[in-house]
Amino acid sequence: MSHQATVKPKLRRTPHEEVGPMYPVVKPVDRGYDLTLNPKNGERAQGQIVYLSGRVIDTNGEPIAGAKVELWQTNMHGRYDHPADPNPAPLDENFEGFGSAVTDAEGRYAFKTVKPAAYPASAPGWWRPPHIHFDVESDYSRLCTQMYFPGEKLNDEDFLIARHRKIGDGELIVAKPAPLPAGAEPDAVALTFDLILNARLR
């Protein structure tokens, strides 16, 4: 007989979203921490710099070391660097819309990126709020989700966010303000966002 079902997790799992059609077809060669630097020419991406960091933890609150964290997003104009993106907004050749990292012993990850913009979605009148897609993989669990920015008006009109708010998970997908790192750009923002995966069954 298993007693696994009697162990109640301490935390709610971060809500799942589909991978969606904008997962990169071609990933940048440089998959490091900084999405805002074009390694070919040393130029910087356009837009407001976002220092994004957080932890990958499980539903017991334990850090997950060695988890693979991938993220992808639009540039400051709301355009994905993806051949299937129907949005006519401009591309930014200096912005890498994809990053990948591996969590440290405390489950931490960090990226330097720019704030993505809203873009028109599949239904008339529906604009996706600025968001960042995540795909996180531990040796036990996997989570695909989307992170939103605090205080965005469009957050209150978004169909996908509404689904999570309805069951009390709305706060789990919105990043929180964090202290800016030393030497940050004048208009930069810092955010923290934890990703909570299912705990290993014992």
Spatial strand order of the sheet with 98-102 comes to 98-102, 68-72, 131-137, 142-148
Q: Please provide the size of the chain in residues.
A: 202
Determine contact, residues 49/36, Cβ cutoff 8 Å: yes
The span from the first CA to the last CA of the chain, in angstroms, equals: 13
Identify whether the C-beta of residue 138 lies closer than 8 Å to the C-beta of residue 13: no
Q: 52 - beta bridge partners?
A: 111, 191
Asked whether the beta carbons of 16 and 67 are under 8 A apart, the reply is no
Q: Enumerate the active-site residues.
A: 80, 119, 128, 131, 133
Rg (CA), the chain: 17
